[in-house]
Chains A and B, each alone.
Chain A
Amino acid sequence: MEGPLLVVRQLVKRFGTRTAVDGVSFEVRAGEAVGLLGPNGAGKTTTLSMVSGLLAADSGEVLLAGRPIEGDTDPRKRLLGLVPQELALYEPISARDNLAFFGALQGMKGAALADAARSALELVGLADRARDLVKTFSGGMKRRLNLAVALLHDPQLLLLDEPTVGVDPQSRNALFDNIEALRRRGKTILYTTHYMEEVERLCDRVIIMDHGKVIADDTLAGLKRRERGGAQVCCELSVSVDAACLEMIGGLPGILRAELDGTRLTLHVSDLHDGLGAALDHLRRIDVVVTSVGSRQPSLEDIFLGLTGRTLRDV
């Protein structure tokens, strides 16, 4: 397919006086796995609702394969597979009956529907529980079935709205395995979450939202190269240093900023070679011994902190 599979342009959505989504724009290309990252209330779910046609935008547009979704019955909705944040399943009936119902709503029937249901259940590891009532499933199994329902009609774009909320670590890993399998098959994914590690594991591009706006849209590598988000060097010092010294180090060439926690000095460097060399020279001049040195790449948490001045857990 030429051009992006999904185009979101200047989306705005207001609820009363509150602007939940404020001019959001981004694109998703076929085969991409894009993470929509942000704290609770950032506007991720509202954006996803507008993308999937559940909610009308006050302004802006959403183009799916080059055209907008028009009305409830637009067959282009079949290009989408939505995994809602809540469990959207009928618990008193079996897994297979759930798939049969939602598949029929997608226009599937007969052998094609049966085959698709079998494939979806196999992908999420529930093939042997197909006939069991959903109410007998564990929370993790229900989450996987929730995913299977969205995959049933083989959508081009899979929309996952915080699919791991309330899921235990073991089930979360199982779900990640399923999503990674989908990535390997070339499925296009738009994944909303407020967990950094999920985006880092599952996505190759990240859109960061805060207060209804996109504040960053880049590949993971690109984000990590950004200002204030470069490599970090952690130095363990023999003694602590004062604020004036810390300010001095933070202003050295190749260093973006310096932080001190007791005797642990963290340097955010734009250039590892120049920055680290200058810092070590300065410490030697003031007779502070560096007992150990280590470096690490910035995490998304660091990037979010750098972009907003807050951690995800602050908001």
Chain B
Amino acid sequence: MTQILAIIRNDLKVYFSDRRAFIMLFIVPIGLASFMGSVFNGSGGPSGGGGMAILIVDQDGSAVSRGVVEAFATDPTFRVAVTNEAAARELVLNGKRPVALVLPRGLGTDILPGLFDTNRKPVITVLHDPSHSMERSMVEGMLIPKVIRSVVQNGLSAELGRDHIRRGLTDIDNTAGIADRDRKLYRVMLERADEFLAVRTDRAPSAAAGGGATGATNGAAGKGGFDLPMPFVAKSVPLIRSSTGRYNGYAHSFAGMSLQFVMMSLLDMSVGLLRERESGIFRRLRSTPLSRATLLVGKGLSYALVGFVSLTGCFAFAMAVFDVRIEGSWTGFIACLALTSTMASSLALAMAALGRTPAGTRGIGIAVLLLLLMVGGAWVPAFILPRWIQQAALVTPTRWALDCFDSMTWRGLGLDAAYGSIGFLLGFTLLAALVTWLRFRWDPE
């Protein structure tokens, strides 16, 4: 027991002798936990986030389509921008927005007949970035209640609604393929709805309609147990420039995972640099005609080379095994590899300069990397994060690096699409290098 206590006491003394490591022991978990808490506190999910930025193209301009736009716009889950189809396609193709809804011409007039006439169902197109399938699913899921709600509010609350119902009653009789039992039930439902509108045209039916919409979404309309057909068709259209016409998810996952690994490996190398400084190697280095700048540039380039080789190897594997292709510019792709490597290298050296000791650097490094990865959307979809974090993500190097790889691989964009990332990564590299230059010391602290 005495020996165990002695070991514990000694270990604690050794560990806490590094004040920076001691502080990091608390600051990093407390800081991260507080940050994550502030992000997710009370949200329980997407509604607490800054909202998913989506585009809506309203080609109809009817009360129903305007109602759909308004329903999305007033939902805090979304941040809506209305635009035209060409602009929407370009923004989704370039990865600037995950989803764009195209509300077609005739939506307002065809929506109710579409309930019963499969040939007249308006087609709502969901243009989406194939790397954002979760966002696409969410928009599609929310589309049904919002359309139904708009139809009920704008179609059934006016005489137009009664016209639709009367046309619907005619269509039911003329439409083949509906079972007699269902035909009767549809007639009863529409006649009751007609009576309801005739008597209470002034009353807002939102609550009842909302319930109906939910029921419709779930595929069962009340106790009758028959299926209520959707009055529209949601057509999902992934936008991609790939020559194969399909999205290869491995391109995105290899970019993300290899970037994470490279950043962690280079952090480890920067810790090794501090160990060198604490050993006699730095004394020997300093006895040679070697400047601090030369040492740091040499170390930075060697780290960058390690990162470059690692990233290149990962992508080569993905290309050979998972058919990942450089659909965009090869020059841009190589520039992304090079700039991402130098960014990671420069960041690792800056963390060593700021961390000062191996333990301190490891603490700072883990905190910085976790934040960069989380804010960059590596752990959770960006749309569930608060808006300020989504905006902060725009200045994270991880986000720009991943955008660059996505653009040059499966998005199939040209070299000009990489200029922004190249510029940002270069700027970040220089900034981190400046921090390193100002803070790194020859002597251990």
Contacts and interface: CB of A to CB of B under 8 A. Distances in A.
A248 interface: no
Given A72-B291, A73-B291, A82 B281 contact: no
Interface in A71-116: 71-75, 77-78, 80-82, 84-90, 102, 105-107
Interface string B276-304: 00011101111111111010000000000
A106 B288 contact: yes
A53 B287 contact: yes
A293 interface: no
Nearest to A45: B283
A295 to B, nearest CB: 44
B290 A88 contact: no
A73 B285 CA distance: 11
A84 B280 CA distance: 6
Interface of B: 279-281, 283-292, 294
Contacts of A78: 288-289
A52 B287 contact: yes
B280 A87 contact: yes
A149 interface: yes
A54 interface: yes
A52 B285 CA distance: 11
Please report whether the interface of chain A is mostly helix, strand, loop or mixed according to DSSP.
loop
B284 A106 contact: no
A102 B291 contact: no
Interface core residue of B284, B285, B290, B292 (most chain A CB under 10 Å) = B284
A126 to B, nearest CB: 17
Nearest to B281: A88
A74 B284 contact: no
Contact of A82 (B279, B283, B290): B283
A105 B285 contact: yes
Given A53-B286, A86-B279, 12 more contacts: A49-B283, A52-B286, A72-B291, A73-B289, A78-B288, A80-B287, A81-B287, A84-B283, A88-B281, A102-B284, A105-B285, A106-B288
B279 A88 contact: yes
Interface string A47-82: 001001110000000000000000111110110111
B274 to A, nearest CB: 15
* Top-8 shortest CB links A-B: A86-B280, A88-B280, A84-B280, A82-B287, A88-B284, A105-B288, A84-B283, A72-B291
A107 B283 contact: no
A105 B285 CA distance: 8
Given A52-B287, A54-B287, A72 B280 contact: no
A48 to B, nearest CB: 10
B281 A89 contact: yes
A6 to B, nearest CB: 14
A53 B281 CA distance: 15
Interface of A: 49, 52-54, 71-75, 77-78, 80-82, 84-90, 102, 105-107, 149-150, 159
B286 to A, nearest CB: 5
Contacts of A52: 286-287
A82 B284 contact: yes
A247 to B, nearest CB: 51
Interface core residue of A54, A72, A89 (most chain B CB under 10 Å) = A72
Nearest to A77: B289
9 contacts: A54-B286, A72-B292, A82-B283, A84-B283, A88-B279, A88-B283, A90-B281, A105-B288, A106-B289
A50 to B, nearest CB: 12
A88 B279 CA distance: 7
A75 B289 contact: yes
A272 B325 CA distance: 95
Contacts of A106: 288-289
A159 B279 CA distance: 18
Contacts of B283: 49, 54, 82, 84, 86, 88
Contacts of A86: 279-280, 283
Contacts of A88: 279-281, 283-284
Contacts of B287: 52-54, 77, 80-82, 159
Nearest to B285: A105
B290 A73 contact: yes
Contacts of B281: 88-90
B126 to A, nearest CB: 55
A308 B21 CA distance: 42
A91 to B, nearest CB: 10
Nearest to A69: B289
Nearest to A90: B281
A53 B282 CA distance: 12
Contacts of A82: 283-284, 287
B288 A102 contact: yes
Contacts of B294: 73
A44 B279 CA distance: 18
Nearest to B276: A90
Contacts of A90: 281
A245 to B, nearest CB: 53
A62 to B, nearest CB: 13
Interface core residue of B279, B285, B289, B291 (most chain A CB under 10 Å) = B289
A53 B442 CA distance: 12
Nearest to B280: A86
B52 to A, nearest CB: 49
Contacts of A159: 287
Contacts of B289: 72-75, 77-78, 105-107
Nearest to A78: B289
Nearest to A106: B288
A86 B286 CA distance: 14
B251 to A, nearest CB: 35
Nearest to A146: B280
A82 B281 CA distance: 11
A84 B279 CA distance: 10
Nearest to B292: A72
Contacts of A102: 284, 288
Contacts of A87: 279-280
A268 to B, nearest CB: 41
B27 to A, nearest CB: 27
A146 to B, nearest CB: 8
Contacts of B279: 86-88
Contacts of A74: 289
Nearest to A80: B287
A157 to B, nearest CB: 11
B388 to A, nearest CB: 44
